[in-house]
Amino acid sequence: MTSITRRQFSAAALALAAPSRKAWGATNIDAPRLDDTLRSSLQKRGIPTATAIVANADHVTYSGVFGKRDSASSVNAAIDSIFRIASMTKAITTTAALQLVEQGKLTLDEPVSKHLPELAKLDVLEGFDPSGKPMLRPAKTPIALRHLLTHTSGCAYANWSPTLTQYIKVSGSTPRAVAPLNPLLFEPGTRWHYGTSVDWAGKLVEQISGLTLEQYFQNNILQPLGMKSTSFLVAPEKFDRLVSTYRRQPDGKLKEDPRTQPPPPTAYNGGGGLYSTAPDYLRFTQMILRKGRGPNKEEILRPKTVELMSANQIGSIAIERLTSTDANVTADLYLGPGNKYTYGFMLNTMTSPEGRPAGTLMWAGIENTFYWIDHRRSLCAVIMMQFFPFLDPQGAGMLADFTKAVYA
């Protein structure tokens, strides 16, 4: 692998692809200023590639492309460059599950073990005894779909749970890549912890529909929305559009992963795994702005369902800071004071320092891809980068610069 320094990225940034913009109709976006902000932020932060796009419910009001597809070639990134969007998959899985609720094939409150028997008898991990042995007890509350869609099931990611990391170490278990079956961190419905809940929601969609997630997504969400470049698969003819992934090294430099054709997944994961582009994912966020309608007025979700996805669904449960157990992959996860979780999204309950107003919905992917949906101003935005760790100061800083410029 080739080691790429920040200085090299800064030099490359001087030869950035000319920003690409499309705009129709009235807009208050200052496109040249947004270009300058993103270009400057990319250079200052040593980020190799970014695409960014902003829209209202019906029209794109800004799009910009910066950097190269990879460090070795002279190929510019493009607005249709393909990124690994990881946990941005979760909102699409949530949409699929809620479609099945609308059809009466699922309910939000019945035990999901009715359809997924492996979730029938789970233990809660209460800690470790003096000898280091895990202390487990049977869960009293069955997991329901509403727990899975709000991350209140007790399922967790080990990389944000020292407790689960310790359990895996002492138990010698090897978690599955998709929907790992670990003990719960707490009784379902009592706390919030980001984790594998939506992996299980994806398994539920497959079980009820009789389709793989790839098939279900394409038939019921992606194709109706015109998201032609979004898939769990990267077709050979689309490989040239796939951007490189980079990883921050201990010395602060970014090192590029080999750029190879991704193999087909052995299983589809509702919690992550999709590839997409900024314009494609924008189409999904616009559907939420339009209260569930696609670009041709077709109904993807009912308006009342979108209202549920736009409202606090965890009540008084607090979203706590989560401690990273692998700083090479993630930073600590802190979503800000007072924020809540809906079905599928984090909900800003107050205006953020960057200007997102209360009521804004948002989430992200672990390789520093981000989006938000602002119902109040009928605005949605997507920015995609491609490096680890998630939410390191450079990725978080680029998101903040972009957000401030959009609301300026």
3-class secondary structure per residue, 72-124: CCCCECCCCCEEEEECCHHHHHHHHHHHHHHCCCCCCCCEHHHCCHHHCCCEE
State residue 22's pLDDT score.
40
The mean of the pLDDT values for the chain is: 92
Backbone angles phi, psi at 3, to 5 degrees: -85, 125
Find the farthest-apart pair of alpha carbons in the chain and give their distance in angstroms, rounded.
Answer: 67
Q: For residue 175, what pLDDT band results from cuts at 50, 70 and 90?
A: low
The domain 3-100+208-407: what is its CATH number?
3.40.710.10
Q: Are 61 and 23 in contact (CB under 8 A)?
A: yes
The rounded distance, in Å, linking the Cα atoms of 103 and 204 is 14
Per-residue pLDDT for 93 more than 80? Answer: yes
Q: For residue 5, what pLDDT band results from cuts at 50, 70 and 90?
A: very low
Q: Which residues partner with 253 through β-bridges?
A: none
Per-residue pLDDT for 110 more than 60? Answer: yes
Q: Are 4 and 245 in contact (CB under 8 A)?
A: no
State residue 10's pLDDT score.
33
Per-residue pLDDT averaged across 263-285, rounded? 97
Q: For residue 36, what pLDDT band results from cuts at 50, 70 and 90?
A: very high
- Active site residues per annotation: 87, 90, 194
The rounded distance, in Å, linking the Cα atoms of 189 and 314 is 8
In this predicted model, what pLDDT tens digit does every residue of 153-165 receive, in sequence order? 999 999 999 999 9
So where are the chain's domains? 3-100+208-407, 110-199
For the whole model, what pTM was predicted? 0.92
In this predicted model, what pLDDT tens digit does every residue of 374-383 receive, in sequence order? 999 999 999 9
State residue 210's pLDDT score.
98
In this predicted model, what pLDDT tens digit does every residue of 187-221 receive, in sequence order? 999 999 999 999 999 999 999 999 999 999 999 99
The rounded distance, in Å, linking the Cα atoms of 35 and 54 is 12
C-alpha dihedral, 310 to 313 to 314 to 318, nearest 10°:
10
State residue 337's pLDDT score.
84
